[in-house]
Structure 1
């Protein structure tokens, strides 16, 4: 586990610069912050000299480190008072001191027209997953190889699929390559995929589902999945991570009538009743949380580049939010923006999420057997202590930046991971692998756990 060193903000800056290099989705991408440039006006002067862009078309957001926690703010926050002055103010009974602040970087970018927001979100999807083209069309592809070298075919696989099929469905900000990489990271995961492809009880086909996760609703992803599996027969086993679980539910429960196959599904950290992280009123804090997760995922999982999308995508979403609303603060416009990001809205844990509400009412077109892997991430490791700032730890002591009202794995509320529907819902969970309060298991490393692989083997036996 990594440890945060408050005196070394450069460790954050180096990681964030690395993912921003050669990134031309929105330009310019970032500027280094220094004491000579401590205001939006200063940024605009620099920008105006460089490109003659009008001031009112320029927006800025800053990533700031405060006592070990990264936070996104509009513009550039005023510099905190010198420590000596703050100590004197505290002794004199003055107002509570501001947190120690270090501006890690400031992003400066042109304002987008609202009608370009959808195109910008689609561009983020394409950058996150190279298998997605400009049409944002989903793809079913075949996994081959083994025992430690697995390859995804470039050509689409076509049904009707027969015999025994294993299907892997990735989650938000991810791709099939990343999901397979999590299995490849351990000997247990490699052995599982190797047996699925080449073992004595191997599957007739092992497939992956590539899909856009922001610009497309889970319902539309599921519609494409349903079309791909029209008239499939035999046995279909599914392993779904995160948002992929919602896609699979929509497919099997709403669009699966043509299936002549028995189905079993293992959900890993799936927001079956949505996630608080996607609620509009939590969005600014959610983007800050994603940046924190990104800095530590690189150290704890050795994730870099496309395998660790959190750093990059948080900054991109900051740009989209601000170009649409002009601010990161919660406003009525922000509610509308989240609705314009179907991939987020489809998993938003809010009362008026009509998509989720309809899914949770039933009836269901198939009768799959569902299994769940879940965790509640809690740790004393100093490198991960930022998680406390985004969760209410106990009644009457709510964190100022609370996202999650209770247990979670840093991305999904734990209670949501096994909550299929309203009272009387026609399906049930057949088994749960619950890591409980874990200092090690969080949203992005379920498939690196031997217990997860063992549970998948037993559930799909």
Structure 2
């Protein structure tokens, strides 16, 4: 049964959950996992439920705050209180870790960790019976017309929805090692695979591994290699290329087209490139052109500059963080997972299940305070050792390089007054990137500008302006991108 909130900050307890909501009125109800009608009330997509389960999370409860309204002043409360409310929920126990997903009234989402430390069994023993979270108090108006026309992860428009989730710290009776969470998950869900990539299967999850007949064909002329980015796979990264454009490229290379699925969180681009070369038969000397999205461009540069493998003739980098992205700094990993979650929430047709479970793997690292074990993510840190000391340092005379570099980048602005604009920008200043243009994940100019690095700045990049509406996940939906790929590779 719903209970009224106390805007003076007096704690309210409902079904074992305690809320202090200074400056906020409304009603709160606590719904256990699996409560009748819960999915309908919260508007949870089937893909969201599947992704949560796939990542090993279980739902504990959902807190719904209906009719929320901020009050300017309340007797006994100065200035309407602070900007946050506090929520205390039952601790799932020492063999579980807990997180909270907050969905605001306008559908924007953010992940929250408890104030209390969590760790692996035997290392951290929690002495409390509850965990406490701080949640934004601000009431966000829903979009005009009752909400967006597409369905994202959860759509409890007009209400605050707090979903409490937990994941186990024991597997088959053995304590998990926090630093190896990403390694283990990627070994199962993002294994290495050099795969076929043709008009009939480039959007398919399962690609056939390459055989001797394929390698013999690839050695007969230049081949085209596709390299995906973080949180992704080949079919997810390039599925938005229109079929007619993909067929054009496929015919241009006479069927010599393949892709490389690889882990992006636990292994850095150098490790990816070495593994790619190790999977090519030693007696096959290949020439390749590369289309790379996001972090895949760093793998492409590794192939060209540092690894003795196929000769890279042309490298097309689409949204590649050549100068890094501050979201890869461990201090901003929380912002990164929130941003990726909101892209899944607001950008139509994103692959929710396949991407969210990768995002949740990073969330597990954060929940347990495990910074190590995410070498692939840290490799994109602008101030990190990988970019500074390896990929972006001056090349030695005997180092290789692509014969031709191309770049595609975007300066994306979410539609004015949209929820996505609110969570990514603060007025005219982006909360993470400052005033630099970006595609919500990678700085615009960092794709093609580097100081003192051979081949940079990349000449004649395709720069998609804000009116094109292209963010980091939607490059291949834009016709100009397909046209430029065909022109460069033709």
User: Normalising to structure 1: TM-score of the pair?
Assistant: 0.72
Which residue in 1 is equivalent to 2:471?
442
Q: 1:193 to 1:276 in 2, by over 3 A?
A: same
Q: How does 1:367-382 map to 2 (within 5 A)?
A: 367-382=402-417
1:414 aligns with 2:449: no
Cα shift readout 1:207-261 (whole Å, capped 9, x = no counterpart): 01111111211110011223345665464211000110011111111114x54x4
Deviation at 1:288, TM superposition (A): 1.7
CA contact (8 A) 2:412 2:437 kept: yes
**Alpha-carbon separation, structure 2, partners of 1:293 and 1:318:** 16
1:43 to 78, 90, 101: 90
Equivalent residue, structure 2, for 1:267:
317
Q: Which residue of the other structure, out of 181, 206, 212, is the alignment partner of 1:120?
A: 181
8 Å contact 1:238–1:265 — kept in the other structure?
yes
Contact 2:290 2:312 in 1 (8 A): no
Q: 2:53 aligns with which of 23, 44, 52?
A: 23
Q: How many equivalent residue pairs?
A: 387
Measure, in 1, the Cα distance between the counterparts of 2:443 and 2:43. 31
What is the 5 A alignment of 1:245-284? 245-256=297-308, 258-259=309-310, 261=311, 263-284=313-334
Residue in 2 that maps onto 1:170: 228
> Which deviations, in whole Å up to 9, do the C-alpha atoms of 1:6-54 show, x marking residues without a partner?
x9x989953466423372543434532357xx9876423xx4xxxxxxx
Deviation at 1:443? 0.9
Could you tell me which residue of structure 2 aligns to residue 51 of structure 1? Answer: none
Aligned to 1:344: 377
CA pair 81-391 structure 1, distance change in 2 beyond 3 A:
closer
With over 3 angstroms needed to count, the CA separation of the structure-2 counterparts of 1:402 and 1:355, relative to structure 1, is closer
Pick closer, same or farther for the CA change 1:273–1:34 going to 2, 3 Å. Answer: same
Say yes or no: does 1:139 pair with 2:189: no
- The residue aligned with 2:274 is 223
**Cα deviation digits, residues 250-304 of structure 1 (max 9, x gap):** 1111114x54x4611111111112111111111222222222111112xx2x234
CA distance in 2, matches of 1:222, 1:216: 10
1:105 aligns with: 163
1:360 is matched with which residue? 392
When residues 279 and 390 of structure 1 are mapped into structure 2, their CA distance, relative to the original with a 3 A threshold, is: farther
SS of the residue 2:209 aligns to: strand
For residues 475 and 382 of structure 2, the distance between their equivalents in structure 1, rounded to whole angstroms, comes to: 22
Moved more, 410-419 or 102-111: 102-111
How has the CA–CA distance of structure 1 residues 126 and 393 changed in structure 2, closer, same or farther, with 3 Å as cutoff?
farther
SS of alignment partner, residue 271 of structure 1: coil
Q: Secondary structure at the match of 2:198?
A: strand
CA change 1:218–1:373 in 2 (3 A) is same
Query: 2: CA distance between counterparts of 1:153 and 1:284?
Result: 32
Q: Give me the CA root mean square deviation.
A: 3.6
Q: Is the 8 A contact 1:277 1:286 kept in 2?
A: yes
2:215 counterpart of 1:181: no
- 1:111, CA displacement in angstroms? 4.5
Report the CA distance between 1:61 and its aligned residue. Answer: 1.9
CA contact (8 A) 1:142 1:153 kept: yes
- SS in structure 1 opposite 2:346? helix
1:386 counterpart (416, 420, 425): 420
Aligned position for 1:73: 112
Secondary structure class of the residue paired with 1:366: coil
Shift in Å, 1:404: 5.5
| Larger helix proportion of the pair | 1
CA, structure 1 residues 43+24, in 2 after alignment: closer, same or farther (shift >3 Å)? farther
Q: Give the Cα separation in 2 of the matches to 1:15 and 1:356.
A: 43
Which runs of 5 or more structure 1 residues have no equivalent in the other structure?
1-6, 48-54, 84-99, 133-137, 184-188, 326-336
Q: 1:234 to 1:215 in 2, by over 3 A?
A: closer
Q: Distance in 2 between matches of 1:220 and 1:457?
A: 30
1:314 deviates by 3.3
1:72/1:223 CA distance change after superposition, 3 Å: same
Q: Which structure is richer in relative contact order (CA contacts within 8 A, separation 6 or more)?
A: 1
Q: Kindly provide the CA deviation profile for residues 380-436 of structure 1, in whole angstroms up to 9, marking residues without a partner as x.
A: 2544x4344434665xxx56x5355521111111121113x4325356524311112
TM-score by length of 2: 0.69
